[in-house]
Structure 1
């Protein structure tokens, strides 16, 4: 398990292109993507303490939701290096798992259906605006999900899906990709 400040450095590197801790405050103020991820990490860290720290963590979380319009549940499992280019209007549910180096654009929903299971998003994925995935699905490592896509089935690694409902556009690594009819 990574230490808190190592996770913060990975998030800073993903959102601001550097991990200079001397620039933490300016990066927090000037980079809304980093600010949203950082406040989420702080709220999660505070929840690990006693009653006062847990309540403070909930206040930080609530402030983050209000300032960024990003509802990142404190029970979600988000690996280091989350990149939020336009952090507004998205929801990440409580049981969602997101791999390292994932990029999430605005208005994305990662939630559950009647099933108690949440989606698992692999490492290095790119989720474009207005993407929706709910239920016990998996988005494979390095997969790309196009804007406005509604994912109803699991997506294999190194592939691209687009549409509503999402259909496979590319399968395999981009150099060896096979186009699928849409």
Structure 2
């Protein structure tokens, strides 16, 4: 169950008590929980679609975080500081991905469609921008304020504008 893995990833524990504590103290857990509910409601007919839209707008207004309901997100997403995060329509995130504040994952331009895919255990630090139909390899790290528009190998560290691989395994 993805909700349980999200809880464990964000708090290190599971159960009702951990969920209540996370709901109060962990805004990233709240965002991903609301997003998973909205995604589920979206597939349940017209009333569900309307409610999912409202949930998405509330997350945007209250937390300053936009995650498209068309994105695919694996279990264990960690959003330590969810303010300013933008995840576009076709983005695919693997398991245990960590996104810090002001991260943008989206298309390169309207004329060049395609969205990034982040494999398992990827970390994108504050202000990171990943654009276009590229893959960020498993366990890779994107440094703060980097702009990545090329493929990144597994376990690599990427930094700069444009992003360059500083270390690869």
Q: Fold match, TM over 0.5?
A: yes
1:124 corresponds to 2:137: no
Of residues 47-56 and 13-22 in structure 1, the stretch that sits farther from structure 2 once superposed is: 13-22
Of residues 61-70 and 74-83 in structure 1, the stretch that sits farther from structure 2 once superposed is: 61-70
If asked which structure has higher relative contact order (CA below 8 Å, sep 6+), I would say 2
Select the structure of larger CA radius of gyration: 1
1:50 corresponds to 2:45: yes
Q: Which residue of the partner structure matches residue 20 of structure 2?
A: 25
Shift of 1:51: 1.1
**Could you say what secondary structure the match of 1:61 adopts?**
helix
Distance 1:133 1:27 in 2: 28
Distance 2:135 2:95 in 1: 15
Residues 94-120 of structure 1: CA deviation (Å, up to 9, x unaligned): 000011001100000000023221001
1:63 corresponds to 2:58: yes
Distance 1:82 1:121 in 2: 11
Conserved 8 A contact 1:8-1:80: yes
1:90 corresponds to 2:90: no
Distance 2:97 2:30 in 1: 16
Distance 1:23 1:128 in 2: 26
Distance 1:21 1:143 in 2: 33
Q: Give the TM-score normalised by structure 1.
A: 0.88
Distance 2:139 2:165 in 1: 14
The correspondence of residues 102-113 of structure 1 with structure 2, limited to 5 A, is 102-113=97-108
Shift of 1:22: 4.3
- Structure 2 unaligned spans of 5+: none
- Report the RMSD for the aligned CA atoms in angstroms: 1.1
Shift of 1:29: 2.2
Q: Which residue of the partner structure matches residue 130 of structure 2?
A: 133
Shift of 1:50: 1.8
**Post-superposition, which runs of at least 4 consecutive aligned residues in structure 1 deviate over 3 A?**
none
Q: Which residue of the partner structure matches residue 68 of structure 2?
A: 73
Q: How many equivalent pairs are there?
A: 167
Q: Which residue of the partner structure matches residue 180 of structure 1?
A: none
1:143 corresponds to 2:140: yes
